[in-house]
Structure 1
Amino acid sequence: MRLTSMILLGGAVAVPASAATVTVTIPQLKVAEYHKPYVAVWLEPTAGGPARTIAVWYDVKKKGNEPGTKWLADLRSWWRKGGRSMALPADGVSGPTRGPGAQTIPLPADLKPGSYVLNVEAARETGGRELVTVPITVPAANAKSSGKAELGTITLSR
């Protein structure tokens, strides 16, 4: 899979962690063989520090010689930022892949005030890879950005 785009929303946007949600839109692609994407959503403090995964969607039911976790490394940016050391399934974070449409995730209520980068990465079998980044500041307003292929609109709202 190859990186198809990286979008950066200019300027930081403030968001109250306790009431904020992230909406990730997975577009309906017109392809011969469609597979739901694996998706990881995580926050990184802009001042440095560990990344915090807030959602990872993968084939949680796939067992056997090639479990669904095998392809999580295709979410390359997330994998390098801490995904490889994460014990899965992670309660309240991991879940099954999602089909096309808008999916809502709450930001952690215990998120400390400060500047962060919200990252949303998608990888799809026989498809592409895409990473969308949105700088935010906790607490305060709304933000919006869009992917070009594997991801649609990413909205941060309160």
Structure 2
Amino acid sequence: MDRVWIRLVKAGRTKIRYPAVPVADDGSRITVRAGWAGGTVRDFGFVRFEPGDVFTEYYWRERWYSVKEVRSDTGTLKGWYCDVTRPAVLLGTELVVEDLDLDLWRSADGTDVRRLDEDEFAASGLADRDPEAAAEAAAALHELERRAHGGDFEALLA
């Protein structure tokens, strides 16, 4: 397969769809590489995603998250953006990932680890609609945060 389409779904609707180049698929984890799909600069205050940035993205079929390594167009590591999601599903050449609103950022040097969008997660109503999924999402965020602080974060991606 020369190309795969990443389709990020949120609240039942496609949030974004973009092409990526498959790097590896071991049956459990799918790794792809893609350019910043946002089109324009997105400044979070603690990191900027910009045209030319390269994302190496890791998706699991059994885990409730994905991890995106972010590098500038010169190859400088910016850090890792982690999305809490339902396990990824590969349908032909489309990788479908359902975003559950929780995110985590880990800077390149590991000194800045921050939870993101917990207010969006609470407002989504997932805990009422699907308490099991909400519990999986909370556990996934906890695991990512523990790994980000515990020194075995990079091992997750090896």
Q: Does TM-score exceed 0.5, indicating one fold?
A: no
Please state which structure has a larger fraction of its residues in strand: 2
Q: Which has the higher contact order (CA 8 A, sep 6+)?
A: 1
Please state which structure has a larger fraction of its residues in helix: 2
